[in-house]
């Protein structure tokens, strides 16, 4: 898929999609978006079987690679990243998704969640980068339900993300035991247990509202 932004070279987006095995019900008719960048591959998620478990649980799953301007091996500049992700979600009919953003993908996800004005169903932040680019006030007025995950033996740099994101009012903060920066890889069983329980609460809340 190609995203064409004004005055910008076309941006190539690679993604994979899994549809639920069973017919979607109101409880599970949600899209979960797993982001990754050049520092990851789809096999990072596949190795943990995260997409497959979500598919079995009845969710539509999108794995989106947020990479490069066509013909260029460098990432787009920061101001463009939010626009690229937002346009991608629009084209994939996923603007009301649950957005899972680990590490460097935070530079794409946070502009959409904090400043995009979209009705994201929930945000799952796994030590995301670039959290310092937003003010405390912006976090304080954010209404998107947010799950903040971090590894118990993560490096100190991730403490910055935790310090900034703690100002989000509608949040849960969960430590993944025996895991480092990539807690979803280091301890996938614990990660999946936390993830699936949180998704169930989001689905239940959405069903009650509808």
Q: Cα dihedral sign for 203, 210, 21, 46?
A: negative
* Lowest model confidence (mean pLDDT) among 37-46, 104-113, 131-140, 194-203: 37-46
- At residue 14 the predicted structure's pLDDT band, cuts being 50, 70 and 90, is confident
* pLDDT of the residue at 88: 92
The three-class DSSP label of residue 193 is: helix
Nearest to 69 by CA among 91, 79, 84: 84
**Which residues form the catalytic set?**
103, 154, 181
Output the pLDDT for position 27: 47
The CATH H-level (homologous superfamily) assignment of domain 2-209 is: Alpha/Beta hydrolase fold, catalytic domain (3.40.50.1820)
Mention every residue, 6+ apart, whose C-beta is less than 8 A from residue 35. Answer: 64, 66, 85, 99, 100, 101, 102, 105, 108, 109
Q: Read off the pLDDT of each residue in 107-132 and give the average, rounded to a whole number.
A: 93
Average pLDDT over residues 36-60: 83
Q: Once rounded to an integer, what is the mean pLDDT over residues 99-128?
A: 93
15 touches 64 (CB < 8 A): yes
């Amino acid at each position: 898929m190609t995203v064409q932004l004004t005055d910008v070279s076309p941006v190539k987006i690679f993604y994979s999609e899994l549809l639920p095995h069973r017919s979607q019900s109101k409880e599970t008719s949600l899209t979960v978006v797993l982001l990754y960048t050049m520092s990851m591959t789809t096999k990072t998620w596949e190795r943990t079987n995260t997409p497959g478990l979500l598919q079995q649980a009845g969710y539509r799953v999108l794995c989106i690679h947020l990479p490069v301007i066509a013909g260029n091996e460098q990432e787009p500049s920061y101001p463009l990243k939010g626009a690229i992700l937002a346009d991608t979600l629009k084209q994939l009919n996923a603007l009301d998704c649950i957005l899972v953003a680990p590490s460097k993908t935070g530079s794409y996800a946070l502009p959409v969640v904090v400043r995009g004005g979209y009705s994201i169903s929930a945000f799952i932040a796994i030590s995301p980068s670039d959290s310092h680019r937003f003010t405390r006030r912006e976090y304080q007025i954010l209404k998107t339900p947010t799950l903040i995950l971090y590894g118990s033996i993560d490096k100190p740099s991730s403490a910055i993300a935790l310090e900034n994101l703690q100002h989000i009012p509608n949040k849960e903060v969960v430590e993944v035991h025996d895991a480092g920066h990539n807690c979803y890889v280091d301890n996938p069983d614990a990660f999946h247990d936390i993830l699936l329980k949180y998704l169930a609460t989001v689905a239940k809340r959405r069903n009650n509202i509808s």
